[in-house]
Each structure stands twice: as C-alpha cells, then as structure tokens.
Amino acid sequence: MSVPSPAPQIAGAPDVSIIMPCLNEVGSLTHCITNAKAALALIEKEYGLSGEIVIADNGSTDGSQALSESLGARVVPVARRGYGAALIGGCEGAHGRFLLMGDADGSYDFTDGVAMIGRLAQGADLCMGSRFAGGIAPGAMPWKNRYIGNPVLTGILNLFFRSGIEDAHCGIRAITKAAFTQCGLSSSGMEFASEMVVKASLLNLKIDQVPATLSPDLRERAPHLRPWRDGWRHLRYLLMLSPTWIFGVPALLALLAGIGIMGGALTGWMRPGVLPMIGPYWTLLGATLVAVGHEALLMALAGHLYSIRAGYRQPTGVTRIAARIASLESMLITGVALAGAGVGILAMVAIGWVRRDFQGAASLLPPAMGTMLLTLGVQNALGGFLLSIIGGHEARFFEGLADDGQ
C-alpha cells in the first residue's frame, strides 16, 4: 500500500500559500487580503519565505473574484460546493509547500499564522490555532459554540484519536502540502475541520498549536455556519472515523455481558443451586448480546481494514494479530464449526421436543444456545467474505499489514 506523492514544487513557486474559502465575501475581502499581505510580509521578514494569496471561490455572484484579483490575489474556482470542498480545492491549487488557511470574513488575523508557518518550518506537519489560548472577542462566538459545541466535540476528538488539541475547530491553521496530500482529505462541509486533525493524528503526523484570536466577522449577512446541524455533522464524522469507539467498545461490552449471562445460565443448568437462577428472559438477552457483540466486532475489523487500505490509518496491535491468524478460509472454517454446533444442539432440542410429545421444555437455555451458535457461525462466514472484499478481494484480507508502516 502506498500514499499519494505530493506534486513536485514548481520552479519559482512561492513557499507559502494563504488560502481563503470564499462565497460572496465582497464586503470583507479587502480587509482579509490586506491582512494576509501583512502576514506574508512578516513571514518573509522572519523566515525568508515568499508567499501568495489564494482565494478558493465557491461560486460567488457578488464580484468577489474580480475584487480579489484586483487586490493581487489568485482566484482558484472550486465547483464542488461546501466549506471543506472550497478549502480542498484551494489547497490543491496552491503552489506553496506551506499552506495557511483562514476564513474570508475578517474573524481571523492572518498574522497569527506567522508563528504557525514557523512551526512548520521547524518540522511540524500541522499547526492548529487555539482561540481559547489566544482570546475570543465579545460577540465573536455564540455561547453554545464556545461553551458546548467546541469543548464537547474537541474533547470527543481527543478521546477517540488522542490528538491533544485545544481547539479542533479553529478556522486558522497551517499544514504542509505534503501532509495535506498524505491525509487525502475529502469532506465537503464544516466537518473538514475535524477530518484534518483526525487523519493527521491517525497517520502519526507531528501536530503543533499556537494561540489565535477570534474577532466578530465583518459580514452583514448571516454566516454560513449552522451550529446544531454542523455540530451533528462533526460528531457523526468522528464516529465514522473511529471504528474502535463506534463498533469495538460496544462489541467488547456486549460480549462481556452476554458471555457472563450465558456462562451463569449454563452453570445453573448443569449444577443447579451453585449460582442464582438465570431465567429465560435473561438467557435470551445474553444470547442476543453475544450475537450483537460478535457482529459489532466484525464491523470494527472491517472499519479498521478499510481505513488502513484507504491510507489514513496505521495498523494497530489488533490488526497485526488479525493479519497473522485471520483469512477467509479460517473464518469460513470457524463459521461452519459454530453453525454446525448450533444445528446439532437445535437437533437435540427438536428430538427432545418429540420425545416429550411436543410439550414445552423445562429450560430455554439449549435452544437459545443453539440459535446463538448458529447465528455466530453465519455471521463469521459472511463477515469473512465482507472483509475479503474490503481487503481488495484477497482471501488473506490483512495480508501485508502486519509490518506495513504506511
């Protein structure tokens, strides 16, 4: 497996590209481009790096393109709509090896990005701004964003991906062109902000952060951001990128609870009185939890396999173990064995039912156990084929990942 190689540096190209996503921002562009020019002057003075300003236009109809060009910026048209799509298009069209991005509404001070470029020059792959460290001006951020949305979503992101970032949704940030290419970013909406941090973390890229300030934006119209809608988009995206938390943790909890219940029921059935009696309803719950946990475990493996094959996750200890023991054949053999055991138990249940003249059984445990094993077997067999498909139609779907560092 390989990651995309960044495009070669164009001869005479600038070192730094400041990228602004733009959709009808004619009222604030003059301020933002002037501020960006000041930042580039400081970057050249501090680090001797040349720069350019790129306006990633997302279909403006208010003359933003002509104004940007008249002020010396280069306009990159981006047909795909959305905040993330505009930034991706702008970064792809930028010529610099260091990319500094910020909104075109006047809320960010691009001179805060001077220190970010310095961190990239010192070896960081991604440098985030922290508005909570730099300062938020009165009226610049709604209370629900400041005290609920940003802290909660940043906390979840750090819990899931161990990013160690104070403000994962800060709109001013810098990334090297090589790291941007390696991350393979694709989100079209506001969740782009989370995607960049998450994928950089999963790839073990070096992430740094510096203080950044936030001011009230200069627009007279309402902002494009919709806090609750975009907050949910961020949260669901974090869950999509974390098969461990969305599948693996529930799988572990369900399996532990289900095996415990079924173990207690089996012990009580074989040696009455040793443990408190596990009734039929608890037995059904235990069997269901085991089946659900097993299915969630297969989905966790599928999620990890996909993300590793897609190039934005490193192999983990679990996937390295799976690489050595798991294959389509091993999962089919295990599945047939489990299903066979389940069918055998259900056959004995049926024989006992006939011998009792079709009367009810004293315990629900045997049919529950047989049905559970049959379900696990079918899940294992079908899960093996699913993993093989995700793994590139290979029988050893984790082949090459045990020692693959990419």
pLDDT at 223: 60
Q: Give which of 211, 220, 120 is closest to 170, Cα–Cα.
A: 211
What are 332's two structure tokens? Answer: 């089919």
Mean pLDDT of the chain: 90
Asked whether the beta carbons of 290 and 374 are under 8 A apart, the reply is: no
Do residues 171 and 107 make contact, with C-beta atoms less than 8 angstroms apart?
A: yes
Coil/strand/helix, residue 285: helix
**How far apart (Å, rounded) are the C-alpha atoms in residues 230 and 103?**
16
Domain ranges of the chain: 16-240, 243-390
Q: How far is CA 356 from CA 38, 270, 359, in A?
A: 90, 20, 5
Under 8 Å between Cβ of 316 and 308: no
CATH code at 16-240: 3.90.550.10
Asked whether the beta carbons of 176 and 120 are under 8 A apart, the reply is yes
- As a whole number of angstroms, the longest Cα–Cα distance in the chain is 94
Residues of the chain short of pLDDT 70, as ranges, are: 1-11, 220-227, 400-406
Instruction: Return all residues near 94 (Cβ < 8 A) that are at least 6 apart.
Output: 17, 19, 52, 54, 76, 177
pLDDT value for 4:
43
Helix (H) or strand (E) holding 100: strand 98-101
Q: Which two tokens stand for residue 27?
A: 């009222």
Cα dist from 169 to 92, 131, 153, whole Å: 21, 9, 9
CA-only gyration radius of the chain, Å: 28
Q: Measure Cα distances from 123 to 17, 126, 193 in Å.
A: 17, 9, 21
> In degrees, to the nearest 5, what angle opens at C-alpha 211 toward C-alphas 205 and 212?
105
pLDDT of 174 reads 98
What integer pLDDT is reported at residue 6 of this predicted model?
46
**DSSP state letter for 400:** T
Residue 34: which region, alpha, beta or left (left: phi > 0; alpha: psi -120 to 50)?
Answer: alpha
**Are residues 174 and 117 in contact, defined by beta-carbon separation less than 8 angstroms?**
yes
* pLDDT for the residue 400: 65
pLDDT on residue 152: 92
DSSP notation for 184-245: T----STTHHHHHHHHHHHTT--EEEEE--B-----SSPPS--HHHHHHHHHHHHHHT-HII
